[in-house]
Amino acid sequence: MAADMDTRGAAARRDLAVRAAVEQGLVGDAEGAEPLVCLLDTAGIRASAAALTAAFAAALAPGTPVLHAFAVKAAPLVPVLRLLAGAGLGCEVAGPGELELARAAGVEAERTVLDSPAKTAAELREALALGIAVNADNRQELERLDALVAAAPTRSPVGVRINPQTGAGTIDALSTATATSKFGIALRDPGARAWLVRAYLDRPWLTRLHIHSGSQGVPLPLIAEGVRELHALAEEINAAAGRRQVDTLDIGGGLPVNFASDEQTPTYAQYVAALRGAVPGLFDGSYGLVTEFGRSLLGKHGLVVARVEYTKTTGSRPIALTHAGVQLATRTVYAPAAWPLRILPYDAKGTPKDGDPVAQDIAGPACFAGDLLATARELPLLAPGDLIGVPDTGAYFFTAHYGYNSLPRPPIHGFTVTPEGGVRFALARPAQSLAEIVAEAGGALRDALL
């Protein structure tokens, strides 16, 4: 019942925000309004963070150290990282850019984790100097860390990422525990397990183990199987060492998001229940925990709002030409079967639009035929000036802009609904100006190649 109320509340906040965005001139046909804006529901983000921390707190033995590190790649926006930090979350970063965003948001080094399959020596050196946790991806990186740790002792917790080789989910590109995945040290390759145990015994400063079996499309039982393999390896290493050398397990993230409806499922509570069933020892206080969730914290709380600029009929198929397309929903445009999105119709005033459903294409502004958010989607017939809402886009969609056709990055606003039903917007990222596009394209170097 509580989940149903949360879902209805989120949908109601969304509709209020769309109408308010039109009334306040953020989007629509009014002079100065943008044809495209992106919105983040701050109450929804806070609720997801609270659900995550509560689910683990309820299951863990009292006093167990736990760090929930938000995967910055999912929404690389400093105000978002700051909001999550205020909710008690740290950051998982995958390169120097993401690390700089986390630092700009004020996230402490001890609440930051560095993961990447291609860390440079300079990146590793900086992380170790700052005291940031590091997960080594491969044997060569571990050898590089040998030299760095010997040269300058560090307070950074250091671990190794393993690939349990437990198999793929429904989206191959997001399944990182396959037999040939590029990530981590393959646990089932001949001799790999024994090598890993020896590597820990030879390096007393290795105190963590890391896993991330994948993301969207990976079912909970497969994620739990990978974590079970991680826990078993930690137990084996500690038994061989005769002490508790591995003290923290970084279990990654990967909770899938439901794109079919407003229902938020699976939940963090369901995720924890799956882990407790598969790996009960994970929760007995023997190990500290780190998680690295991204999409599940932000995905359901983002909304694209785009103006319908023109409509046409081609081959008897109605087509709505909008300002939202591949620059925001890159994965959907190139792999629509794996990344389907809902389309919510609104009229020019921002009110949900009613009417008999008509199969129509929802097209974006890019100059290639495949720039479609939806094909033959049954919706009330759209008209110029109407708006479309594209929900569930708060992670990996409009926060990771694709610059095809030099389409500008749209503005992103966080919104809060007041107890009286009013809506307050706060700019989280400004719209990219045409001058900024030119500058990024080498405008100041116009004659460099003459």
Q: Give the catalytic positions in this structure.
A: 367
Task: Report how far residue 396's alpha carbon sits from residue 90's, in angstroms, rounded to the nearest whole number.
Answer: 19
SS3 215: coil
Could you tell me if 133 and 157 are in contact, meaning their C-beta atoms sit under 8 angstroms apart? yes
**HSE-CB of 150 using CA atoms within 13 angstroms:** 7
Name the residue among 255, 249, 301 with its Cα closest to residue 87.
301
* CA dist list (Å): 118 to 123, 140, 402: 10, 10, 22
3-state percent breakdown (helix, strand, coil) of the chain, nearest 5: 35, 25, 40
Q: Give the strand pairing for 317-322 and 302-314.
A: antiparallel
Task: Assign 3-class secondary structure to 387-402.
Answer: EEEEECCCCCCCCCCC
Task: Report how far residue 436's alpha carbon sits from residue 445's, in angstroms, rounded to the nearest whole number.
Answer: 14
Instruction: Tell me how many helices (H) and strands (E) the chain has.
Output: 12, 18
Q: How many CB atoms are closer than 10 A to CB 436?
A: 14
Structure tokens at 304: 């694209």
Contacts of 112 (CB under 8 A, 6+ apart): 69, 90, 91, 92, 93, 99, 102, 130, 132, 133
